[in-house]
Structure 1
Amino acid sequence: MTAAPLHRPAATGTLRKGLLGLVLALPLTACGTADKLAQVGQQPHLNAIQDPRTTPGYRPVQMPMPEAQSAHYSPNSLWRSGNRAFFEDQRAKQVGDILTVLVTISDKAQFDNATSRRRSDSSSAGAGGALGTAIDIIGLPAGVAASDLASVDSSTNFSGSGSVDREEKLETTIAAVVLQVLPNGNLVIEGRQEVRVNNEVRELVVAGIVRPEDITSENTIVSEKIAEARIGYGGRGQLTDVQQPRYGSQVLDIMLPF
């Protein structure tokens, strides 16, 4: 006789994957800890200025483009095709030009949700007539009749509630560099800013796609007119480390199913 294969519970597989992830993460955690220990008593370093296109993982932006249209030139005209003003246009228009981004974010969200669920079920089974009499004769416990042979009752109750009350506001200015000029004339920009104050580095990153028509005569653009905007504001240093839970707590939060 061949023994039936044993089926391992799904929880066991999940636990094994979690432990494997923990083992793989330990070298990275140790490396990050060693770097932090080497910087004890020192100020957080500032990243070197470099071309964002040389950073690992950078990929040029590709977007759907309209068909190219040939430019028309008027003979004996002082107006040059492609200019947005009669005089020399000082706004950013080619790779390497600098553009000032006015970051203005003011978001507020408030939600209240409540859910309630209740279900009850009752089932019974028995035997009557000749079959019931035969079952009674065979020998049921005292006080139990064949007509009440089986009875199942179930009841479930669930209630849940949640609320979100969030308000965010960010106002700052950052200079960005034009990295690409797309075939339709739109500009791909990216800007980074780092400020170190009292062993804490504050970082601001802005990237996205802008239309030349949205750039003002002062060579500025508001963040709400940036398509595919990626805006990040954070920091690193002693204060940020204290505000973050320890590695062990983060691992347990991921692995524990409770």
Structure 2
Amino acid sequence: MRSLMVAVLAVSGCGKLEQVGRAPEFTGLEGTDQHYAMYSAALPEDVPAGAASDGSSLWTAGTDSLFGDRRAAQRGDILTVVIEIDDSASISNSTGRSRNGKINGGVTDLLGIPQKLDGALPDGASMADAVNMDSSSTFKGQGSVARKEKLTLRVAATVVEELPNGVLRIEGQQEVRVNFEMRELIVTGYVRPNDISRQNEITYDKIAGARIAYGGRGQITDVQQPTYGQQVADIVMPF
């Protein structure tokens, strides 16, 4: 077990050593769903009878027309996802419980039996006060949660799949490298074509199953993270 752990740490360390003095590399788009969607053949557009075939008419049904619908509608189309998150939550709970109990029991007369037993009992003991019990319990609990998040971003996403019910599956990925730090933004989810605005935009709250990731990688991120040894120790150590 120890040798396996050492080997894993060594391999992880070698991966980091290869990046010494180098900026983080961009993630390749080749082989992704976006790549295949972009290079797939588009469906033919319906052109009304009598319309000009060269696309010069204002009344053609294509997206190149002045009055055409430019909203994303099929695989390979691009739309803009608007992310404007400004959420805050505050929860405070308080619980209190208290209980007191007291039991007294005794036998004063029962065919003279208590009197006979009193003689056999130690001094001060009597069947007239055979049972005397007191109980008390108190519980108090209090908890609070305070959270505030604000994020404003815009990212272009690609329609990578058209589902049988007409819903579109979208994926968007954006990477910006500044010096030796890479900023990453990833958006995936499902949208209805009717929710896409005339500006070919959709807000994040209309994306079903939305998965939004915003972070980075690079030298600054590495410094902010604990080392592999510390992470392993936090998991393995029982205290």
TM over 0.5: yes
**What amino acid sits opposite 1:227 in the alignment?**
A
**Matched residue SS, 1:39:** helix
User: Does the C-alpha gap of structure 1 residues 118 and 103 become closer, same or farther in structure 2, counting only changes over 3 Å?
Assistant: same
Q: Shift in Å at residue 241 of structure 1?
A: 4.8
CA pair 86-197 structure 1, distance change in 2 beyond 3 A: closer
Q: Which runs of 5+ in 2 are unaligned?
A: 35-45, 52-58
Q: 2:138, 2:201 → 1: CA distance?
A: 58
Identical counterparts, % of pairs = 42
Look up the SS of the partner of 1:247 in the other structure: helix
1:235 aligns with 2:219: no
Q: Distance in 2 between matches of 1:29 and 1:158?
A: 47
SS at match of 1:195: strand
Check if 1:34 corresponds to 2:11: yes
Q: Quick check: 1:182 aligned with 2:163?
A: yes
Corresponding residue number in structure 1 for 2:205: 224
CA RMSD for the aligned pairs? 3.7
Deviation of the 1:107 alpha carbon: 0.6
1:116 offset after TM fit, Å?
Answer: 1.3
Give the Cα separation in 2 of the matches to 1:30 and 1:154: 59
Q: In the alignment, does 2:114 pair up with 1:137?
A: no
Aligned pair count reads: 211
Of residues 24, 27, 48, the one that matches 1:47 is: 27
After superposition, give the CA deviation of every residue in 1:140-179 in whole Å (9 maximum; x if it has no partner). Answer: 3322222333333221112222222221110111121112
In the alignment, structure 1 residue 102 sits paired with structure 2 residue 82? yes
Shift of 1:187: 0.9
- Structure 1 207/154 Cα, relative in aligned 2: closer, same or farther at 3 Å? same
- Taking the aligned partners of 1:31 and 1:213, their CA distance within structure 2 comes to 50
The unaligned stretches of length 5 or more in structure 1 are: 1-22, 55-72
Q: 2:169, 2:190 within 8 Å by CA — same for their partners in 1?
A: yes
| Deviations, residues 204-223 of structure 1 (Å, cap 9, x unaligned) | 22111112223233322221
The alpha-carbon deviation at position 30 of structure 1 amounts to 6.4
| Number of the residue aligned with 2:94 | 114
Rg comparison, structure with higher value: 2
Q: TM-score, normalised by structure 2?
A: 0.69
Q: Shift of the alpha carbon at 1:89?
A: 3.6
Residues 132/248 of structure 1: CA separation in 2 closer, same or farther (3 Å cut)? farther
